[in-house]
Amino acid sequence: MKKRWEVLVYNKLVRDLVEQDQHHRYYKDDWADVHHEQVEAPDLAGARRRATARYPARDGFVIVEINEAKDDEDEAAPEKHRDKP
């Protein structure tokens, strides 16, 4: 059974350029800020694999945190993983 996972991710290359008042050739400036994206996977390891495939470090992406997405009806604490910056 697949679960929904929330991925907090930003782009370090964009962030560095924006700090220098420049722009990335492909990515919008808002990638300097953390985005809340979602992936589907059966577990945290699968969520990490999908997230790193979609947001590769070689392109400047930094995955800050992955949390199991919480439905409004679900009162259980979500499984969580936070990377060190």
Instruction: Please check whether residue 60 lies inside any domain of the structure.
Output: yes
Instruction: Please check whether residue 75 lies inside any domain of the structure.
Output: no
Question: Residue 83, CB half-sphere, CA atoms under 13 Å: how many?
Answer: 14
Indicate the number of domains in the chain: 1
Residue by residue, DSSP assigns 32-69 as GS-EEEEEEESSHHHHHHHHHHHS-GGGTEEEEEEEEP
Give the residue-averaged pLDDT of 35-49.
97
Instruction: Please check whether residue 83 lies inside any domain of the structure.
Output: no
* Rounded-to-integer distance, Cα 17 and Cα 79, Å: 34
Which strand (E) or helix (H) includes residue 17?
helix 12-19
Question: What confidence tier does 64 reach under pLDDT thresholds 50, 70, 90?
Answer: very high
CATH number at residue 40: 3.10.20
Residue 67 has a pLDDT of 97
The tokens describing 62, both together, are: 């930094």
Residue 75 has a pLDDT of 45
Range of the domain at 34: 3-69
pTM surpassing 0.85?
Answer: no
Give the residue-averaged pLDDT of 64-80.
70
Instruction: Please check whether residue 77 lies inside any domain of the structure.
Output: no
